[in-house]
C-alpha cells in the first residue's frame, strides 16, 4: 500500500485524532460538539476513528472550585479523576445524536512499553472499532505523571497511532499550522509540508507553551509528528476549528509526509 497523502485523509481506513486541553476546556468546551460532528462524518464515510483527548485536569478545575491549575501531584491526580468522568460524559452526549457510543481508554506510556498490556490495549481498541465504538484515549493521570510533567498527549497519540497501525494522525491545536517562527513574529511563515527526510535544524517552531489549562506546544507536536511519520503514518497538524476540513482532506495545516520505509 502506498503512503497516504493529505488529500486522501477523507478515504483513510483508520485515523487517530488528538485534541489538546485548551481547545475543549472551560469556555472552549463548545468545540466538543463541533469536533464530534467532524468525527461522526468521517465515521459515516467508513473511516475508523480513535480520539486522543486531553482535558481531564482542566475540566475538573471548575468542578472542584479550584482557582487555578493545581501544582501538587495529589491534587492534580484527584482533579484528573473528577474531570475525566465529566469529559467523557460531554463527548458521549455530543455523540448521542449520531448513535455512536464512546469507550474510555486510559493509558500510560508504560502500558504501551509493556508487551502484555500493549497487546491488551491493541486488542481492546481493535474490538471497539469493529463494534462501531469511538475509543476516547487519555493519559491515565490518576496514576501517571508523564502528561502532567511533560506533554499534552502528543506523544501518546503518536504511540497509539503506531499501536493501531493507523493510516494517519491528526494533531489539533490552537493554530492553523506550524510556522517557521512563533506565529506572533512578523517574519513567521506557515509550513505546508515537511518531507520525510527533511532537516528541521534552524527552524524555531515556537517555544513550548504552558498555559492555565494544559501543557505542550509546537515542539511536542513536531516531535510526535516525526515519530509517527517515521513509522509510515502521515501526520497533519492544524487548528481544532478546522477539524472538519482536515478530515475531508483539505489543503490546510502542516502535513508530515510518511516515511516510505516506515
Known binding residue 231? Answer is no
User: CB of 39 within 8 A of CB of 53?
Assistant: no
Q: How far apart are CA 83 and CA 24, in angstroms?
A: 12
What is the CA angle 103-224-43, rounded to 5? Answer: 35
Q: Choose among 15, 31, 47: nearest CA to 90.
A: 31
Residue with cell 501526520: 235
Distance from C-alpha of 96 to C-alpha of 131, rounded to nearest angstrom: 16
Say whether 53 counts as a known binding-site residue.
no
153 annotated as a binding-site residue: yes
Q: Order the strands of the 234-239 sheet from edge to edge.
A: 102-107, 134-139, 48-53, 14-19, 168-173, 234-239, 254-256, 193-194
141 is in an annotated binding site: yes
Phi, psi (rounded to 5 degrees) for 23: -85, -20
**What does the alpha-carbon distance between residue 221 and residue 45 come to, in Å, rounded to a whole number?**
27
> Can you tell me the distance from the alpha carbon of 258 to that of 234, in angstroms, rounded to the nearest whole number?
5
Binding residues for substrate: 54, 141, 153
Binding residues for ATP: 18, 173-174
Binding residues: 18, 54, 141, 153, 173-174
Amino acid at each position: 500500500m502506498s503512503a497516504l497523502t493529505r488529500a486522501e485523509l477523507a478515504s483513510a481506513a483508520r485515523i487517530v485524532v488528538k485534541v489538546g486541553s485548551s481547545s475543549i476546556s472551560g469556555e472552549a468546551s463548545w468545540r466538543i460538539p463541533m469536533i464530534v460532528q467532524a468525527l461522526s462524518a468521517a465515521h459515516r464515510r467508513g473511516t475508523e476513528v480513535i480520539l486522543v483527548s486531553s482535558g481531564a485536569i482542566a475540566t475538573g478545575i471548575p468542578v472542584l472550585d479550584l482557582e487555578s491549575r493545581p501544582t501538587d501531584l495529589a491534587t492534580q491526580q484527584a482533579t484528573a479523576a473528577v474531570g475525566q468522568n465529566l469529559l467523557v460524559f460531554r463527548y458521549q452526549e455530543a455523540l448521542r445524536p449520531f448513535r455512536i457510543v464512546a469507550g474510555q481508554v486510559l493509558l500510560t506510556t508504560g502500558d504501551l512499553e509493556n508487551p502484555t498490556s500493549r497487546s491488551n490495549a491493541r486488542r481492546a481498541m481493535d474490538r471497539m472499532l469493529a463494534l462501531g465504538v469511538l475509543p476516547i484515549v487519555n493519559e491515565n493521570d490518576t496514576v501517571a505523571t508523564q502528561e502532567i510533567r511533560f506533554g499534552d498527549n502528543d506523544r501518546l497519540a503518536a504511540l497509539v497511532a503506531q499501536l493501531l497501525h493507523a493510516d494517519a494522525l491528526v494533531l489539533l491545536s490552537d493554530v492553523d499550522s506550524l510556522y517557521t517562527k512563533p506565529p506572533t513574529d512578523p517574519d513567521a511563515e506557515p509550513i505546508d509540508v515537511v518531507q520525510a527526510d527533511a532537516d528541521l535544524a534552524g527552524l524555531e517552531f515556537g517555544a513550548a507553551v504552558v498555559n492555565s489549562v494544559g501543557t505542550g506546544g509546537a515542539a511536542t507536536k513536531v516531535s510526535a509528528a516525526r515519530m509517527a511519520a517515521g513509522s509510515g503514518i502521515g501526520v497533519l497538524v492544524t487548528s481544532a476549528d478546522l477539524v472538519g476540513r482536515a478530515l475531508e482532506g483539505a489543503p490546510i495545516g502542516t502535513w508530515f509526509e510518511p516515511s516510505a520505509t516506515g
